[in-house]
Amino acid sequence: MNTAIVSPITSTTRSARDSRPIPRRVNDVAKRALDIAAAAIGLILLAPWFLWIGWRIRRDSPGPALYRGWRVGKNGRRFQILKFRTMKECPESYRGTKVTGKDDPRITPLGRRLRDTKVNELPQLWNVLTGDMSLVGPRPEDPDIVATWPEPLRHEVLAVRPGITSPASVLYRDEETLLKSGNVMRTYLQSVLPSKLRLDQLYVRHRSFWLDLDVLFWTMFILLPMLRSFAPKEDLLFLGPISRFAGWYLNWFVVDTLVTFAAIGIAGLAWRLAGPLDVGWLPATLVGFGFALLFSLTGALLGMNRIAWSHAGTSEVFGLLLSTALAGAMAYLANSKWTEPPRLPPGLIVIASALALAGFVLVRYRSRLASAVAGRWLSRMGGALGARECVLIVGSGYTGQFIAWLLSNGSSVGVFHVVGFVDDDLYKQGLRYHGIGVIGRRSDIRPLVEKHDVGIIVFAIHNIQPAERERVLAICHSTAARVVVVPDIVGALNAVLTEHTHAPSVAQAAPPEPVAEETVAFAAPGVSPLQAELWLADLECAAKAGDLAAVSDRIRMMREGLQRLGG
């Protein structure tokens, strides 16, 4: 059998047997509950139809109504998959290829109709009920085909239950038409299978309850006769309408509603303690809930739910301020104009709006606020830093700031403590970048290492003369700290940019201006978005592991890759 040329998306794969976070476990429980409920209900409701189809199959050609074939399931365990039989019951059907093409003579006329409508797959509801399969998951393959997969890929894809449908099943629903001529098995292994496995890997890595609902939605959508020719784009497949609604609207809508309701409750309680508030608990609750919905809807309409708040800048607070002000103004008008007399004091609405804004900011910036408070507290607790490696960064340009960010975020927070930058720029002395200050000049490296018990010096300067570079590195090496030299990332990217930029004519050429370390352009022509995503994901994994050597190695590989593209 031919061996498929299949490679994992990246070299870093995660096993499903690793310790999983609580949300993933909750997701797995919800997924299994949906599988059992849907399979049980489906088998009961479809039982009469199944009996009729079985009778039609046996009438169409001699043989059993069901086909049982061996497939590889979760963790490599084999099981027998159930399908309505679509082939003639003869030795040739069992000796043929493991993959079926469009014009396969083994298929019966009724079997062709069952395969075109995917009705032949419905008996797999029994496999779902027994736990061998799931409603959504990578499609199970024949053991001989699974044997052609590379070990890391096989380990990753088989970490979950196979499914009746999958993202690959949606995009390759007409797979048999691609295999209608020539060597069917070779075409499948070399042209179709690699793409399907890539989609299976993406599903395994990003699987969620909402993604399963999206895949089920697209599966039913494309099975409608008038929509069979529609092919959803890959991004819509993995982030479909249900996932978008849940992630962009439902989650934040619920959070904002609870925050607003709490803000109105706190404001009302404080107002009642200070003076009379004769509203009544039930009317107050209904009015508070209505205002909460108003605030949440206003934020959603202004796009506040489509911001990646874990990476949002402080300027996004103005959007929250605008949405809260608009919602507060509408609540104020509704309370004063549409109710006689006003149910709530106007001042209470103003106070509740201010509290709601504070709550919106708190829940969106909670992780960074907590990290900042913890970092400040730890930096003032001398004994608390004993368990963390102190790092001094030489150079406060973009490269140095990038390294500081890597060491100050994620899992590195409890591993490293960046004591500060050293830089000879007089205008930078005493300034702070991402919460880390410039605490001295290059000549201060030795005393700073001794003062802060620095264990690692990160050299991140590339716009200096070679002689000065060697002098500063000599100072670094003369200390007891380890020295890590970070490659010139932005310099490598600028080199590629220069190679791909058309040079101006001699008449138009102007003398080049000196480029400071802080003013660099970022562009990488020739690099696909997928390749860039893989590079960044690999770099992020190394950074989260706190391995500076691995980070340096990943950056070196990125630079070499960019140079090859530029060549």
- What confidence tens digit (pLDDT) does each residue in 356-367 have? 889 888 888 876
Mean pLDDT of the region 132-156: 93
> Alpha helices of 61-158 — where are they, by DSSP H?
91-95, 109-117, 124-130, 143-146, 151-157
| Burial bucket for residue 224 (CB in 10 Å: 0-12, 13-18, 19+) | exposed
- What was the pLDDT predicted at 297? 83
| Model confidence at 503: pLDDT above 60 | no
- What confidence tens digit (pLDDT) does each residue in 434-456 have? 778 899 999 899 999 999 889 99
Q: How far apart are CA 330 and CA 344, in angstroms?
A: 14
- What was the pLDDT predicted at 316? 82
Position with higher pLDDT, 426 vs 524: 426
* Backbone phi, psi, residue 72, to 5°: -100, 125
Domains of the chain with bracketed CATH: 22-206+221-226 (no CATH), 244-364 (no CATH), 387-501+517-566 (3.40.50.720)
- What was the pLDDT predicted at 123? 96
User: What one-character-per-residue DSSP string does 245-269 give?
Assistant: IIIIIIHHHHHHHHHHHHHHHHHHH
| Model confidence at 384: pLDDT above 60 | no
Lowest mean pLDDT among 3-7, 64-68, 359-363, 531-535: 3-7
pLDDT tier for residue 474 given thresholds of 50, 70 and 90: very high
- What was the pLDDT predicted at 324? 87
- What confidence tens digit (pLDDT) does each residue in 87-114 have? 988 887 777 777 888 778 888 999 989 9
Amino acid at 38: A
- What was the pLDDT predicted at 367? 63
- What confidence tens digit (pLDDT) does each residue in 307-337 have? 777 667 777 888 888 888 888 888 888 777 7
Cβ count near 225 (within 10 Å): 6
Cis peptide before 341 (omega within 30 of 0): yes
- Of 248, 267, 249, the closest CA to residue 356 belongs to 267
pLDDT tier for residue 20 given thresholds of 50, 70 and 90: very low
- What was the pLDDT predicted at 514? 41
- What was the pLDDT predicted at 401? 87
- What was the pLDDT predicted at 126? 97
- What was the pLDDT predicted at 527? 53
Position with higher pLDDT, 408 vs 63: 63
Query: Apex CA 126: angle with CA 33 and CA 37, to 5°?
Result: 25
Burial of 389-420, coded b for 16+ CB within 10 Å and e otherwise, reads: bbbbbbbbbbbbbbbbbbbbebebbebbbbbb
Q: How far apart are CA 26 and CA 398, in angstroms?
A: 41
- What was the pLDDT predicted at 365? 80
Position with higher pLDDT, 5 vs 354: 354
| Model confidence at 25: pLDDT above 60 | yes
- What was the pLDDT predicted at 405? 82
- Interhelix angle 281-301/317-337, nearest 10 degrees: 140
pLDDT tier for residue 380 given thresholds of 50, 70 and 90: low
- What was the pLDDT predicted at 378? 53
- Of 506, 500, 486, 498, the closest CA to residue 551 belongs to 486
Which tokens go with 298?
């206003």
- What was the pLDDT predicted at 338? 66
Cβ count near 40 (within 10 Å): 13
Mean pLDDT of the chain: 79
| Model confidence at 392: pLDDT above 90 | yes
